[in-house]
Structure 1
Amino acid sequence: MKNFLIIPLMIGVLALSSCYSENADRNGAMVTDAANDITETVKAVSETEKALPETVNAASEEVEAASTVTVSSAEVTLSENPETEHTEAAESTDDIIGGSYTEETGLSEFECYADAQHVKLSGRTLFRDNIRYLGYSCSAAEFDFYGTYAEIELIMEPEECDEKERSYYSVTVNSEEVFRGVLTEDMVFCAVDEEIADRYRVKITKLSEGCFGAVGIGRIRTVAAGETAPPPVSDIRIEFIGDSLTCGYGDEASSAEEKFSTSTENGLLGYAALTAERLGAEYNIIGMNGIGIVSRYTPNGEKKTEGFLMPELYKYTDGFRSDELWDNSEFVPDICVIALGANDNSYTRGITSREDEFSEKYIEFIRQVREANPDSYIICASGIQRSNLYDVIARSAEKYIEESSDERISSFRFNSQRDDEGFGSDYHPSAVSQQRFADELYAEITRLFPEYVNE
């Protein structure tokens, strides 16, 4: 739009301050404090305007004439040319929590929460008291904007926990990681602070699993041409239901001997996230370490059911923090990958009666997943760690097919982790092994669905 031609003359008018401290409050006072300087600069521009080309004069007239035009969040996206999208921001709308328009810069201050109108959400997330809680591995909030500044209020949950169990998270700007670390206290994170407006995509991702706390997202503040907007959504959706092997437990550890902490658990390096990223798919991960179908991990062979088993956890949005039941219409997967059995194996131990018990409960869980996702293709995966349950899982899937005539299901066996690939914490798969598992699962999914090939 022509009114962009005059904006560079104004950039020197207003210098945005550096990143806020935790208690900083960027509000309309910023414009008020600079009002006198703006007035003098506008006068100076008026005096020199006659010397500018006629196109600049025309652009100046357009800026004055555009005072009633508004900007919607849908107009400001990374996929479009911002110069064709940029118009004056709304002076007041019900959807904007705060902000004041400045004609000289063409930008406004906006404030919003991490709701579906303003951000793209990944994973099962809770929204309580205007705080979005990222609990599960790789749950995320992502938004686009055209402007100069963005900050995110981050809330530590729970308020107190063991240092090695605090939430591990990352922040990326335009796909480049600008921070990765453990959240140790409530804070305001400055993601973008630039003098010249540009297009930005900001993403906050929870890396560690849900039983080790959550990253809460409060207010999101921007200086921008319009409200934040959710990025585009892929047509392919995958749900992963698993245990520590799916969450990426210990995959950033240097060896099996390195003690686990959340800072060694990067879900983005796990096979689930890597497979989904390669497919260009949206994905949910429902998982936690030690979980199973009939028993949690047990070192002595005695059944352990304290805490969650997957058939119970699967019902909830985030069972670690709420009894809110998950609304399956929120995420309708094309494929559901069930990757369970490693912890049950510590209980079944090749004992026929226990394997029969596992098989019965496994089939019941397939039915539960099918009821929640009637149109999804189900892959019953196993084999990441050596287990006596390989064949039991395959037979269970076959038995379910015979009983239900449901043919949108199959079993799949990974090639187990290898010593030469190294190990993560507590002999969990290394990042090298996780990449190989992702390659194998990608090959299986694209064999089943050739249209998903994404090379």
Structure 2
Amino acid sequence: MGNFIKKQMLHDGESGISYIGRFDFSDPDGIVFGWSCSTIVAMFDGTEVSAKFQSFGPNYFTVILDDKIIMNSLDVSKDGVFVLAVNLIKGIHEIKMIKRNEFNVGYVKFLGFDFGDGELLSAPKRLERRIEIIGDSITCGYGNEGQNESVDYAPSLDNGYLSYGAIAGRSLGAETIIIGCSGFGIMQSYVGDISQTVPSRYSMIVPEKDVRWDFTKWIPQVVVINLGTNDFSFGHIPDVDKFNKAYIRFIEEIHSYYKNSKVICTVGPLMDGEALIVIKKCINNVILQHFYDKELDFVSFLEFEPQNKEQNGCGVGGHPSIKTHKIMAEKLQSKIRKMMNW
């Protein structure tokens, strides 16, 4: 081990490594990324593989070898070389690493793979179907590996790989990226901070570094928005006029980057009562209608049913359990399959 070849640091597709998500290639020493479910994939011919990381905060990965999870939660929080697999059957293998946690918990610098006496092969073929999931803690899989709402939060309990969007994407055979952050909303955070919104971070590769993304690099056919839970936090009804205008501006921004993409505005599964009634009216009667009035039909609505804690359990702080994420994924993939004829 120890042969971390510099050529592996080149841009996506030039190095034999595929980078699915938003990655910053400007640092010659390594590739920086932060969003949940950012994925690194490589094909190699050999019997072993390790990876080298520099970590900025707690960071965890799901590691998959030849379509089988071999490490559910690899902790790379301490900088160094991490042995992923040894004593493999000699031949061609695929290694995949998926970042489980959010950028506000930590971001990472990838410093390369080492295949021992083996060699890196051509990058795996990319999927043609692409889905972008935009949201908050629900979308990022916050605390979904916690056993109940009373469990103390720890970043190791976040699993973006088992979030509803990621599950749906895999079922649909689509590359799926997540752009989201716990506590963030459309116009404010759950405590009313207007600086902590997803639209304010949406154009960034690594939000903590304020590095801007080139939207021409990866264009999804479907964009899913699940925001508003934090704007309506604790059942509080915000200024709905401001909410509607902020939501419309965000959809218009997305549409400016992805002219031919479908946008699904979703609600749930943590909202209830008057807040749920009001946000559904906002989306259906004002926000979507704004586009329909202009004869634009790229937007639609989907509601996730409120979670059933008694039947399906819940994660940290009452967030959806993995079982609930799977239920949400089934509903989302059904809508996308029908809408896109996938």
TM-score normalised according to structure 1 size: 0.69
Amino acid at match of 1:336: V
Give the C-alpha shift of residue 403 in structure 1: 4.2
Q: 1:406 aligns with which of 296, 312, 316?
A: 296
C-alpha separation between the residues in 2 aligned to 1:346 and 1:114?
Answer: 43
Aligned to 2:194: 305
Amino acid at match of 2:183: G
Aligned to 2:223: 336
Q: Deviations over 1:222-266 (max 9, x none)?
A: 246653332111111001110001000010001000011111100
Amino acid at match of 2:70: V
Cα 1:310–1:404, aligned 2, differ >3 Å: closer, same or farther? farther
Q: Is the 8 A contact 1:363 1:396 kept in 2?
A: no
Q: Is the 8 A contact 1:112 1:221 kept in 2?
A: no
C-alpha separation between the residues in 1 aligned to 2:182 and 2:89?
Answer: 45
1:324 and 2:215 equivalent? no
Q: Is the 8 A contact 1:174 1:200 kept in 2?
A: yes
Aligned to 2:148: 255
Query: Greater strand share, 1 or 2?
Result: 2
Cα 1:145–1:407, aligned 2, differ >3 Å: closer, same or farther? same
Aligned to 1:139: 38
Give the C-alpha shift of residue 196 in structure 1: 5.3
Q: Is the 8 A contact 2:32 2:206 kept in 1?
A: no
Amino acid at match of 2:53: L
Higher CA-based Rg: 1
Aligned to 2:9: 113
Q: 1:229 aligns with which of 116, 119, 122?
A: 122
Cα 1:410–1:195, aligned 2, differ >3 Å: closer, same or farther? closer
Q: Is the 8 A contact 1:146 1:224 kept in 2?
A: no
Q: 2:307 aligns with which of 417, 421, 435?
A: 417
Q: 2:175 aligns with which of 282, 290, 298?
A: 282
Matches within 5 A, 1:26-105: 26=3, 97=6
Amino acid at match of 2:224: V
Cα 1:327–1:380, aligned 2, differ >3 Å: closer, same or farther? same
Aligned to 1:15: none
C-alpha separation between the residues in 2 aligned to 1:122 and 1:26?
Answer: 24
Give the C-alpha shift of residue 154 in structure 1: 1.6
Amino acid at match of 1:327: D
Amino acid at match of 1:147: G
In structure 1, the gaps of 5 or more residues are 1-19, 28-95, 98-110, 159-165
1:126 and 2:18 equivalent? no
Q: Deviations over 1:23-73 (max 9, x none)?
A: xx459xxxxxxxxxxxxxxxxxxxxxxxxxxxxxxxxxxxxxxxxxxxxxx
Give the C-alpha shift of residue 150 in structure 1: 2.2
Q: Deviations over 1:362-388 (max 9, x none)?
A: 111110111111110111111221234
C-alpha separation between the residues in 2 aligned to 1:261 and 1:391?
Answer: 35
Aligned to 2:69: 177
1:219 and 2:105 equivalent? no
Q: 2:203 aligns with which of 315, 325, 348?
A: 315
Aligned to 1:201: 94
C-alpha separation between the residues in 1 aligned to 2:10 and 2:140?
Answer: 24
C-alpha separation between the residues in 2 aligned to 1:311 and 1:404?
Answer: 23
TM-score normalised according to structure 2 size: 0.91
Higher relative contact order, chain-length normalized (CA < 8 Å, sep 6+): 2
Q: Is the 8 A contact 1:145 1:224 kept in 2?
A: no
Cα 1:184–1:383, aligned 2, differ >3 Å: closer, same or farther? closer
Query: Greater helix share, 1 or 2?
Result: 1
Q: Deviations over 1:159-203 (max 9, x none)?
A: xxxxxxx11212221122222232231121222333752111011
Q: Is the 8 A contact 1:246 1:287 kept in 2?
A: yes
Q: Deviations over 1:392-436 (max 9, x none)?
A: 122233322234321111111111111221111111111111110
C-alpha separation between the residues in 2 aligned to 1:271 and 1:286?
Answer: 13
Cα 1:220–1:252, aligned 2, differ >3 Å: closer, same or farther? same
Cα 1:431–1:229, aligned 2, differ >3 Å: closer, same or farther? same
C-alpha separation between the residues in 2 aligned to 1:317 and 1:195?
Answer: 35
Cα 1:331–1:177, aligned 2, differ >3 Å: closer, same or farther? same
SS of 2:284 mapped into structure 1? helix
Cα 1:195–1:245, aligned 2, differ >3 Å: closer, same or farther? closer
Q: Deviations over 1:119-168 (max 9, x none)?
A: 1111112232331223111101110011223221121114xxxxxxx112
Aligned to 1:444: 335
Q: Is the 8 A contact 1:384 1:415 kept in 2?
A: yes
C-alpha separation between the residues in 1 aligned to 2:259 and 2:23?
Answer: 22
Give the C-alpha shift of residue 350 in structure 1: 3.3
Give % identity.
27
Q: Is the 8 A contact 2:244 2:287 kept in 1?
A: no
Aligned to 1:393: 283
Aligned to 1:381: 266
C-alpha separation between the residues in 2 aligned to 1:361 and 1:196?
Answer: 54
C-alpha separation between the residues in 2 aligned to 1:296 and 1:205?
Answer: 27
**Residue correspondences, number:** 332
Cα 1:407–1:425, aligned 2, differ >3 Å: closer, same or farther? same
Cα 1:243–1:407, aligned 2, differ >3 Å: closer, same or farther? same
1:295 and 2:183 equivalent? no
